[in-house]
Amino acid sequence: MISWGAILLLAVNTAAAEPPTAGSQRDAIALAGQSQLSAPELGDTLDAYLAYALSNSPSVRAAFARWQAAVHRIAPIGVLPDPTVGFGVFVRSVETRVGPQQARVSVQQAFPWPTALTASRGAATDEALAAQHAFDAEVRGVMSGVEQAYWDLWELRTTRATHVRHIDVLDGLSSTLGARLEVGTATLADLQQIDLSNARLADRIASMDAREQSLVAELRRQVGIADRAPMPTSTNPAPTARPEDNLSVLTERALQHPMQLAAVARTEAAQDVTRAARAQRMPGLTLGADWMLTGPAVMPGVADSGKDAVAATVGVRIPLWQRAGAERVRAAQAVVGVREAEQDAVNVRIIAVLDQVLARLNDSARRVQINEGTLLPQAEATYDSLLGSLAVNQGSVAQVLLTQRDLLELRVDADMARADHARAWSALTDLVGTVVHSVPETSND
């Protein structure tokens, strides 16, 4: 198992687990503030590409920074307003029995309606949780993007190698017919047919060479490499398999996708904002104290001469602008409706994508099995038989070329099916979590 750093393992594992509790939220918040992403060396396997991408992808770094920013926004929200300290000097002092009042020092502390504090802090916490899930989703998305680009490049290189092998076969057949042409046992038309097929394959390979440059650039982009490093594809697709879990379990896991959890957290944050907006329409309380600095009395012998006066004050904030407050509440309620609709849209999308991925997975497995188990052996046997007949001047070059073309298409389709299966499995992993237990696919399924 590759070590990607504690933060990435947390993101990957929490994405497939139950919704985080308050304790796990605190742990995640602490981890977001303390962890640093380390960049491993770029290797030549798919796992190495994934490890490098998770540590170097700009989108992962941006999502991680957004998570940190959301976490750091929690502490300043939900605290009491700053107290107010005032100092005043009497320009015209008031003479009292104990002496003239010279100055006044006042301290006031406002206390909003309690819901305003708790709801605002709850909204910030939910936004931080949404940012955490968004980071988890970005990690999954980067992994899936790297795998998709990798298998696209693997498919191209594999099919090109298949074309090159067929060109070698045609070159050998052309040499044989060329020798037979000299002795009059073959015709020029037969040789030209083979040379035409050879030229067409060479043209396809040239097109593949050009497309390979584009796919290599795409893989570099997904991995997060700025230079023009070579991108070998040494990892081959795993054998075809199907998920061990049934459809209901896969659906349940898919609905715990970080995108869905982030949408739920944003909805809860919008609901907290609505509660905070309602609380702003409620009265607030202000407590304070005034300290009157008093000078000595004019008359000597006065008891308590120069004694300072202290007064406690209580104030009430009266929300007069109720119409403006009501509009703030309605706006917040509208945002709740937006978030709920977005949550439903994510839910619908996840279910649809899961069904599409499972259909692709089943179809690609079927194509691999029928190609490698039935069609390819039949085509190879037919091709070998026609080559044997051609060797004794009993077959035609046209039949050999037609069968050779069918054999090429079947081998290419088998390679494409294996790549499609790997891409579908990657998409399934993105949907339902990093660990998808599989059972081998059999021809009877």
Note the pLDDT tens digit of each residue in 332-360.
899 999 999 999 999 999 999 999 999 99
- pLDDT greater than 80 at residue 21: no
pLDDT the model gives residue 187? 67
Residues 86 and 227 in one domain: no
Residues 238 and 303 in one domain: no
pLDDT the model gives residue 184? 61
Q: Is residue 1 part of a domain?
A: no
Residue percentage of the chain with pLDDT more than 70:
82
> Three-state SS for 93?
strand
pLDDT the model gives residue 392? 59
Residues 107 and 26 in one domain: no
- pLDDT greater than 60 at residue 82: yes
Number of domains comprising the chain? 2
Containing H/E element for 287? strand 284-294
Residues 252 and 105 in one domain: no
pLDDT the model gives residue 134? 92
- Domain residues for the domain of 19 are 6-79+114-280+321-440
pLDDT the model gives residue 395? 61
pLDDT the model gives residue 153? 94
* Average pLDDT over every residue of 171-181: 68
Residues 235 and 274 in one domain: yes
The CATH number of the domain holding residue 393 is: 1.20.1600.10
Residues 327 and 431 in one domain: yes
Note the pLDDT tens digit of each residue in 118-170.
888 888 899 999 999 999 999 999 999 999 999 999 999 999 998 888 887 77
Residues 308 and 271 in one domain: no
pLDDT the model gives residue 54? 86
Residues 306 and 179 in one domain: no
* Residue 217: partners with Cβ closer than 8 Å, 6 or more residues away: none
Can you tell me the distance from the alpha carbon of 84 to that of 89, in angstroms, rounded to the nearest whole number?
17
In the chain, DSSP finds a helix count (H) and a strand count (E) of 11, 6
Q: Is residue 375 part of a domain?
A: yes
Residues 301 and 399 in one domain: no
Q: Is residue 310 part of a domain?
A: yes
| Confidence bin at 17 (pLDDT 50/70/90) | very low
* Domain stop point among 318, 339, 366: 318
- pLDDT greater than 70 at residue 377: yes
Q: What is the DSSP string of 201-266?
A: HHHHHHHHHHHHHHHHHHHHHHHT--S-------PPPPPPEEESS-HHHHHHHHTT-HHHHHHHHH
pLDDT the model gives residue 29? 42
- pLDDT, the chain, mean: 80
Q: Is residue 445 part of a domain?
A: no
Residues 298 and 429 in one domain: no
* Average pLDDT over every residue of 60-78: 88
Residues 272 and 390 in one domain: yes
Radius of gyration for the alpha carbons in the chain, expressed in angstroms and rounded: 37
Residues 58 and 153 in one domain: yes
For the full predicted model, state whether its pTM sits above 0.85: no
* Average pLDDT over every residue of 416-442: 84
Can you tell me the distance from the alpha carbon of 440 to that of 442, in angstroms, rounded to the nearest whole number?
6
